[in-house]
Structures are given as structure tokens and as C-alpha cells.
Amino acid sequence: MLTLASKLKRDDGVRGPRASNPASDSTRRVSVRDKLLVKEVADLEANLPCTCKVNFPDPNKLHYFQLTVTPDEGYYQGGKFQFETEVPDAYNMV
């Protein structure tokens, strides 16, 4: 996660002031989403119970991750449940 945060900071420095063309606006929107996800994914991983694991198949794509839940008690004990989550581009904008 930290490498993505560093990459986003470097990309902002290289890009400089925001241009007025539409391509840079869509690129900027993705960067805002990824900046928010860096913080929120760190919070998620810090507060996740031991029966849950988060996996990022591509560490450069924080907007796509997998959650595996393996309950250790109750009716679903011994089960393994996998969820895939993809955060849309408009995350936290609409």
C-alpha cells in the first residue's frame, strides 16, 4: 500500500499543474479515488478480525480486492467465503 501512495505523490509532482484537457480530468479523478483508498484500505486492514483476510491480486489497483472470511465459530464454522470488490471510478464523488 505504501508503494502506491509514494507513486501517487510522484505522479502528482511530475504532472505539475492540472491541464484543462478532458483526459487529465479523468486521470485526476482516478487519482483522487486511489488517494482515498490508500487511507481507507490501511484502516480496513488494521481493524479486520483475524478470521478475515484481504488480498490485492494487483497491488497497483487498490480499487479491486478480494476478502476471504473463514468463521471460527457458529453455524458457518469451517466455511470459507470469498468476496470480490471493485470500487467504481466515481467513488466518493457522487
The reported pLDDT for the residue numbered 20 is 45
Q: How would you classify residue 78: left for phi > 0, otherwise alpha for psi between -120 and 50, otherwise beta?
A: left
Of 83, 87, 74, 88, whose CA–CA distance to 52 is shortest? Answer: 83
pLDDT score, position 32 = 79
pLDDT tens digit sequence for 4-34: 655 556 555 555 544 444 444 444 444 578 8
pLDDT for res 29: 43
Predicted local distance difference test score (pLDDT) of residue 18 = 47
Q: How far apart are CA 79 and CA 73, in angstroms?
A: 10
- pLDDT tens column, 42-75: 898 899 999 999 999 998 888 899 999 999 999 9
Pairing of strands 81-86, 52-55: unpaired
